[in-house]
Amino acid sequence: MATEIELKAWVREPEALRERLNALAKEAGSFEKEDSYWYDPAGRLSSSGIRIRKETDEDTQGAVTRAVRVTYKHKEIRGSVEVNDEHEFSVSDDRPFEDLLIRLGFVRGSCKHKRGWSWDYAPVTAELSFVEGLGWFVELEILADSDRPEVVQAARASLLAALDAVGVGAEHIETRYYTEMLLHKRISAASGL
C-alpha cells in the first residue's frame, strides 16, 4: 500500500501547459475517467465514500486499455497537498458491484468525468485534466512509502518544484476536492447565485 501525495492547480492555458509538459517529461498517453461516488447513509464510512471509476487509457503507441476500479481512501489536506491512504481493486463489471452496494445500503452520490493526458516526470506523475463542469487542471502526484511528516514535506517540495517548472504559480493551487467544487456549483446554480 502506498500513500498518494498530490496537488492540483487551475490551468488557464491548457495547450501551452501541454507543450511545456511534452518538453519536460515523457508522455504516457491520454485518459478518460468516469467516477461515481457511493456513500453509506448511516455514516459508517468516511466522507470520501467508495469511488467506482470506469477508465479508458490510450498509450502513445495507440494501445487502448479499459478498466473498472473501485477505490476507498482516507483523505486529508495538509497545507496545499492532499495525502491519501488509498485502497484500490479492479472489478470486471461495475453493474454487479453497484447492485451489491445498493443491497448493503449505499446510495449513489456525485459523479465526475474528466479527460486529458498524463506524463512521467519522475518522481512525479503529471496529468493535464479537463473536469466537466469545472475546467482545466494540472494534477501532480507522488507515491510515497508512508505519510510521516518528513516524507510529506519532501514530497510537497518536489510537487511545488514541478508546478513551478511547468509554469503554474502556487497561487493557482486548489485544495478543495473536485466533488466539493461540483456540489458547490450545483447548489449555486439551483439557488440562482
pLDDT at 9 over 60: yes
Render pLDDT for 46-93 as a digit per residue (tens, 0 to 9).
Answer: 556 899 999 999 999 999 999 999 998 888 888 889 998 888 999 999
Domain boundaries, the chain: 3-191
Would you list the DSSP string of 83-150?
EEEEEEEEES-HHHHHHHHHHTT-EEEEEEEEEEEEEEETTEEEEEEEETTTEEEEEEEEEES---HH
Render pLDDT for 124-177 as a digit per residue (tens, 0 to 9).
Answer: 999 999 999 999 999 999 999 999 999 999 999 999 999 999 999 999 999 999
Mean pLDDT is lowest, of 113-117, 136-140, 187-191, for: 187-191
pLDDT at 22 over 90: yes
CA-CA distance, 160 to 51, in Å (whole number)? Answer: 27
Task: Give the mean model confidence (pLDDT) for residues 35-44.
Answer: 81
CATH topology of domain 3-191: Hypothetical Protein Pfu-838710-001 (2.40.320)
Task: Give the mean model confidence (pLDDT) for residues 173-191.
Answer: 89
**pTM of the complete model:** 0.90
3-state secondary structure of 44: coil
Residue type, 166: V
- Say what the alpha-carbon torsion angle 39, 42, 47, 49 is, to the nearest 10 degrees: -30
pLDDT at 45 over 60: no
Q: Is the distance from CB of 17 to CB of 166 less than 8 angstroms? A: yes
pLDDT at 42: 73
The total of other beta-carbon atoms located within 10 Å of residue 127's CB is 20
Extract the C-alpha cell encoding 119.
506524463
Cα–Cα–Cα angle for 114, 70, 156, nearest 5°?
65
CA-CA distance, 140 to 165, in Å (whole number)? Answer: 12
DSSP code, position 50 = E
- CB burial string 13-50: b at 16+ within 10 A, e below: ebeebbebbeeebeebbbbebbbbbbbeeeeeeeebbb
